[in-house]
Amino acid sequence: MTLFILAGGMGSRYGGLKQIDPFTEHGEFIIDFSIYDAIRAGFDRVVFLIKRENYEIFRTTVGARIEGKVKVDYVFQDMDYAVPENKIPPERVKPWGTTHAVLCGRDLLDDCFAVINADDFYGKEAFETAAQFLKHTKADSHDFAMVGYHLGNTLTENGSVARGECHGDINGMLVKISERTKLFAEDGGAYYEDENGEKVHLPASTTVSMNFWCFAPTLFEGLAEDFEQFINDPDREPMKSECLLPNTVGKMIRNGDCTVRILKTEAKWFGVTYFDDKPKVVAKIKSLIAEGIYPDGLWK
């Protein structure tokens, strides 16, 4: 099984390359804990999706730490991958979005794989749940999965967050994801404003997506099709529009191209959306080490 880690983001709200910002006395990053959890859950390969200019710093830090413990590969999210030259604005530096990011891994991801963000702390249980699903998934399957978190376990006090509100059927299958781009913590849950400016409260128990997916290689046909439509859309904003993975998967569900099971977890998500989030995340990781959930020095 392969863990595909999306580490190509710019970290604009955080103010730096947060994927390689140390969070422990041993210099470990959040990404180290995800890899450690994945290995002990049964994943035997890690593929990093990064910017080409960040290859050396990734290879000499986290890459060097895990070589020999798991197979490691790198793939680059280049602006011109699967994009005609005449569709690329010369001034654009923003990546094309998470659909494009995963699509960039098409040539390397020939077995079943999980997708995560590099700067999110997902928790041991989440990787165990994902691994259990993938162990029983065949490469030609169109049955995928998404790890679903309780909204109350994913919020920050330092600003708004974007979360995908998951709507499932009685069998636990994902029907659609509603993107909530400005969620503010409130009364254990969160609120957002609808199109009429009305305040809408979401309870803490609401299932949300944190971009933790389980796929088979059959995914790539749908990704390529949707990304091509995105690139050729005359109404997209050329400098900022992104093709987002939850939206693409949602279209595939509606078209009958796949099914997605919601794998619910009680795990608590830690994140560093904003720089002010870091001290609390550092404290939470230190607490988990003190409890013996993680060793004091992951790669000793």
User: Per-residue pLDDT for the chain (300 aa), expressed as one digit of tens each?
Assistant: 999 999 876 444 334 455 567 888 888 888 999 999 999 999 999 999 998 888 888 888 888 889 889 999 999 999 999 999 888 888 888 889 999 999 999 999 999 999 999 888 999 999 999 999 999 999 999 999 999 999 988 887 767 788 889 999 999 999 989 888 788 888 778 888 877 878 888 898 999 999 999 999 999 999 999 999 999 998 888 888 999 999 999 999 999 999 999 999 988 888 776 777 788 888 999 999 999 999 999 988
End-to-end CA gap in the chain? 24
Q: What is the pLDDT of residue 20?
A: 63
Helices 30-41 and 124-134: crossing angle in degrees, nearest 10, is: 40
Structural domain contains residue 116: yes
Q: What is the dihedral of CA 216, 222, 224, 230, to 10 degrees?
A: -140
Structural domain contains residue 167: no
Structural domain contains residue 92: yes
Q: Looking at the 3D structure of the chain, how many domains does it have?
A: 1
- C-alpha span between 177 and 249 (Å, rounded): 9
Q: What is the pLDDT of residue 16?
A: 47
Q: What is the pLDDT of residue 187?
A: 78
Q: Taking a C-beta distance cutoff of 8 angstroms, is the pair 1, 43 a contact?
A: yes
Taking the model in full, what pTM does it have? 0.91
- C-alpha span between 262 and 148 (Å, rounded): 6
Helices 245-254 and 219-231: crossing angle in degrees, nearest 10, is: 110
Q: Residue 266 maps to which CATH number?
A: 3.90.550.10
Structural domain contains residue 36: yes
Structural domain contains residue 103: yes
Burial class, 169, CB count within 10 angstroms (exposed 0-12 / middle 13-18 / buried 19+): exposed
What are phi and psi for residue 70, nearest 5 degrees? -160, 150
- Domain of 121 in residue numbering reads as 2-148+207-290
| CA-angle at 44, arms to 163 and 17, nearest 5° | 45
Report which of 241, 246, 184, 236 is spatially closest to residue 215, judged by C-alpha positions. 246
H helices present in the chain, as ranges: 30-41, 55-58, 64-66, 98-103, 124-134, 219-231, 245-254, 278-290
Structural domain contains residue 181: no
Structural domain contains residue 42: yes
Structural domain contains residue 174: no
Q: What is the pLDDT of residue 179?
A: 85
